């Protein structure tokens, strides 16, 4: 089992920056693929970024030039650094984890409770 807790959300002005953090509790954190998603009212949950235990990252095209994902396996934390934020970035942001199964089927998924990010002047 893995429990995730996001923090760092809040109000930010357009063009500003914000750093989100996700703290994980549980064993073998480095074996999980970690990610960030967001969901705005009336929209589907949207993938933003993921990072392997090795540090290899993947980004959605919509945010690849503005967001940076990182992880600290010793501290069992994942961060999302967001730059040049826009009004359309307003959403609830979720931390996500899934086991790195090496291509084999594994249905386990873990989600944090979400943290609200609002971009407004």
Residues 85-97: pLDDT tens digits?
A: 999 999 999 999 9
DSSP class per residue in the chain: -EEEEEE--EEE-TT--EEEEEEEEES-GGGEEEEEEEE-TTS--EEEEEE-TT--EEE-TTTTTTEEEEEETTTTEEEEEE-S--GGG-EEEEEEEEE--TTS-----EE---EEEEE--
Residues 30-67: pLDDT tens digits?
A: 999 999 999 999 999 999 999 999 999 999 999 999 99
Q: Can you give the pLDDT at residue 52? A: 97
């Amino acid at each position: 089992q893995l429990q995730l807790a996001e923090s760092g959300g809040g109000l930010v002005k357009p063009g500003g920056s914000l750093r989100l953090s996700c703290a994980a509790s549980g064993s073998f954190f480095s074996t999980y693929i970690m990610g960030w998603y967001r969901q705005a009212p009336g929209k589907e949950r949207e993938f933003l970024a993921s990072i392997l235990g090795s540090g290899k990252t993947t980004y959605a095209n919509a945010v690849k030039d503005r967001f940076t994902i990182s992880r600290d396996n010793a501290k069992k934390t994942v961060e999302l650094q967001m730059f040049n934020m826009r009004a359309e970035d307003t959403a609830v942001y979720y931390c996500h984890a899934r086991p790195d199964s090496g291509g084999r089927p594994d249905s386990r998924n873990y989600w944090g409770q979400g943290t609200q990010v609002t971009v407004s002047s």
